[in-house]
Structure 1
Amino acid sequence: MVKSLTRIALAGAAIATVLAGTASTAQASEVGTLESNKYLYLTEGRGTMTFIDDGDMFQVCDTKADGHGVEGQLIDDTERQMLYITDGGDAGCDKAGYNVGNSRQYQMKFWWSGGGGTQYSQWFNE
């Protein structure tokens, strides 16, 4: 009986470890980095926000025709808004440039205009 309970406890611990790894992976897919570019993704395929390091361009894309657009913001480490971009109701994505330097830290914020949560990038600079 004790051996059976031990085996059940070990199996439960193994399943919990696998599930914890799966939860981390799902969350990581919402915020990504490729080299020095940064990406934010909204749930249910509603949109993306991208920082393109080569040229310091920020792009937001409304990827779901649901009557609501998407909004993106770049803030600095004093919480001051440096850039604001929206997209929705037209073809293509909207983009704008902002020279990200080394002297400050910056963070991207991205959300769906129809409500819900906001996605945040990690703090970054050049």
Structure 2
Amino acid sequence: MLYRGSCHCGKVAFEFKAELTGAIRCNCSICSRKGALLCAIPHGSLTVLAWGDDLGSYAFGNHAMAHRFCRTCGIHPFAEDVREGGERNAYVNLNCVADLDPSTLSVFNFDGRSA
């Protein structure tokens, strides 16, 4: 199924194809603070439709993930695996997806603090 989403102000917009069967709640220091419910998808399944200068990036720890955010409204719509080689993933914040009620999905708790 094709899903579309954006940050709060709409300056960062995206779409992706996936079959959503659940959501991931990560307890790492950034995901727990922003309260994201995530969906992991192959990086090639994510298309960023609008961003310009509004798409910011934040990395911490081993810098394996680029946490993307809107510089205008501050919302974190997705993150990207930036490691070299291997299959890369994108992690969409399901709270930013239009016409989707994340509360209807089962939630898997991922221990990102230990990863």
TM-score w.r.t. the length of structure 1 is 0.27
User: Which structure would you say has the larger Rg?
Assistant: 1
- Larger helix percent: 1
